[in-house]
Structure 1
């Protein structure tokens, strides 16, 4: 029987560590590295049933993909029920997920009741990067003065080569928070190296539009990492900004029917701003810029963390969206001039970027905004671009981009290789896949 055993976490100051023992048939999905998560507050007073949540949030989707059961010493009762609800949502979304059971020796007490007076004074937190989605969520909830939470271990890895990127993100979030008298929380984890993400991708990429984590694991995974932090800081509400919006039917790992089900004793998670399209989120930001933050800069680049390159698809898309919301991109972090419209069109037509269905929806959102407004283009170049976008076959632009055939062949080989053969080939496979992984994650 396929199974995964999660040992009791050990705590040293503000860091927790946890060993995971998969059954032999599942070992290829793990690197044998213990799961580690570091916070910026001590964890000694956090109960074991909460401490284990970050690890369960990463491990359980892998178990569900293989019909495996998970065994743990202790778990928070509220989170155990949440896992059942998240499993049901993910299994309904992905046909290849088989499900599984969670078995615990001890289940901690039920979630305490909260009266109206306590609820009115509730503390909140928000996963924050400074991009369009999380900035919009801050704007929507700024009256709550949410703690801004940033995580290293997803798009910014624990590799020393990413140290500078993490410094840039911390500095930017710290400055944003200081200007608004907000608290920050910084979390660092090796979750994506304790899991063998390359092998997960090799096995399951054929079923998903993005990567394993983006298409399956990241809503539960990112929120679960926050559990000890939220408990230590008595956070009642934890927000994660929506990537997509109502009407988009994509198999994505962060959606209302996943994130809104994530909870543990004392904390309820929320998938935020799902009712707004990306362009409408930019509208909300534009209103905030006009009323409170004229010098606000966004950070959305796919290739840099110390500003925006202005040349990747996401930078171009954000700059165009800012224009449509009445903001000048150069005033908010994006080098952009009229000649860039031609460069953008050429890059899209030539398939220079790896695009997924979510990018198609986002360009459709931009096209709809152009159609529904009577805004005059600011230049002939802008007019030409929007005229082209009006008739462009966005489905073709997405289908003609994508990973090279060599990547797909290697993925199939890894999927079918015996574990010893795969382990020998792993370094080359990991190096090959890293570039695509970094481009496709995040919106």
Structure 2
């Protein structure tokens, strides 16, 4: 991965930090009054997993400055992610940093930031660390597509108003870092720890919280987790993984005490309305809301009819989502919601049967069934 032409551009109303990454124009956009670093660190963090998957060293121009502390951490990051290859679904090779100039650049920014989009994990982290956080970031291109202008403005306005009531500022930012992975055939789940950290490294803040999605108890290797996130830090910017000690349904239960937050609750990534109410993430959240007895105008109420017609037919394709399903099953049983119990356990059985079929195909048929399915799809 060749990283070149690192530069900061000043435009009317905004600033951009950008670089060429193997022909991909990677950029980070912030309001003009937000100072940016001119370091290679954000681009190194964003490209590490991609470089490992492509078996390419990271090559820097001699004029590019990088943090020796970050490069030291990369050695440990690579060892950890290499052990997780079966979970991540990619062969990962050790890579080196070639070229560049090692330098711990002086940085006077002492701000602490966190990401905020109206979701459960990010809001829980904000509420827990409110006194430490100076301002929050709402990243277009991460939480929604770059071309979803109207929806982004709607969600930003809601989030900004909510935080303003509590004396906190919400800073808009944009980046195409998510698409660097897609271009190289790595999904966001593999490289989003480095991707989110690269935004904080671009800002050069003192501390950045990354909200946990999974718990210590149910952690499954993925791009962001309590083991690796801290290692994206350099000498000045400290990355902190927060909230892995609390299940998501318990986070929602705590946040439900804040009616202002319930009025802006948003989890959907389909960019089809504020919350589409149809995707797995929406239906999962609606299930939690129902079993906890919480109402919010940002979601339709999950009625018995919707449970039977929509929820029960939901298919899970990611083992990570089992934690959230099990949380909802446990809560449904606690309130003896038999309609929900039946639907949720049906979803779980369906997932487990498909997983068994996949294992049989891999161990006995050596992947023949999967190959045959792909041939049918292509034709």
Under TM normalisation by the shorter chain, which class is it?
A: 0.7 to 0.9
Task: Choose the corresponding residue for 1:286, options 256, 263, 277.
Answer: 256
- CA drift at 1:343: 2.3
Distance 1:411 1:165, change over 3 A: farther
Which of the numbers 189, 193, 201 marks the counterpart of 1:227?
Answer: 201
Q: Secondary structure at the match of 2:112?
A: strand
Measured after TM superposition, the shift of residue 141 of structure 1 is: 1.2
Corresponding position of 1:108: 103
In 2, Cα distance between equivalents of 1:410 and 1:18: 39
1:197 aligns with 2:156: no
Alignment match, 2:82: 91
TM-score of the pair, normalised by structure 1: 0.70
Secondary structure of the structure 2 residue equivalent to 1:310: coil
Report the counterpart of residue 178 of structure 1 in structure 2.
164
Q: Is the 8 A contact 1:65 1:99 kept in 2?
A: no
1:196 and 1:263 map into 2 onto residues whose CA distance is 20
Pair 1:42–1:107, CA change in 2 (3 A): farther
- Which segments of structure 1 move beyond 6 Å, counting only runs of 4 or more? 405-408, 410-413
Q: Select which of 346, 355, 369 maps to 1:392.
A: 346
Return the match for 2:52 from 28, 39, 64.
Answer: 64
Give the aligned partner of residue 9 of structure 2.
12
Q: How does 1:421-440 map onto structure 2 within 5 Å?
A: none
Taking the aligned partners of 1:314 and 1:53, their CA distance within structure 2 comes to: 33
Go from structure 1 to structure 2 and tell me whether the alpha carbon gap of 1:329 and 1:221 turns closer, same or farther (over 3 Å shift): same
The aligned counterpart of 2:266 is 299
State the SS of the aligned residue for 1:97.
Answer: coil
Flag structure 1 segments of 5+ consecutive residues without an equivalent: 22-31, 202-211, 378-382, 414-443
The alpha carbon displacement at 1:154 in A equals 3.0
Task: Show the counterpart of 1:347.
Answer: 310
**Which residue does the alignment assign to 1:213?**
188
CA RMSD, Structure 1 to Structure 2 (Å): 3.2
Deviation at 1:144, TM superposition (A): 2.5
Gaps of 5+ in 2: 356-369
| 1:42-441 aligned within 5 A | 46-49=36-39, 52-72=40-60, 73-95=64-86, 96-109=91-104, 123-158=111-146, 160=147, 162-193=148-179, 195=180, 197=182, 199-201=184-186, 212-214=187-189, 216-229=190-203, 231=204, 235-289=205-259, 293=260, 296-304=263-271, 306-330=273-297, 333-337=298-302, 340-351=303-314, 353=315, 355-371=317-333, 373=334, 375=335, 383-389=337-343, 391-392=345-346, 394-397=348-351, 409=374
- Write 1 or 2 for the structure with the bigger share of helix: 1
Q: TM-score, normalised by structure 2?
A: 0.81
Q: How many residues align?
A: 353
Q: Is the 8 A contact 1:300 1:315 kept in 2?
A: yes
- Is the 2:181–2:191 contact (alpha carbons within 8 Å) kept by the matching residues of 1? no
Q: How far does residue 217 in structure 1 lie from its aligned partner after superposition? A: 0.3
User: Does the CA contact (< 8 Å) of 2:181 and 2:188 recur in 1?
Assistant: no
Conservation of the 8 A alpha-carbon contact between 2:208 and 2:238:
yes
From the superposition, tell whether residues 279 and 39 of structure 1 become closer, same or farther in structure 2 (CA, over 3 Å).
Answer: same
Quote how far apart the aligned CAs of 1:356 are.
Answer: 1.8
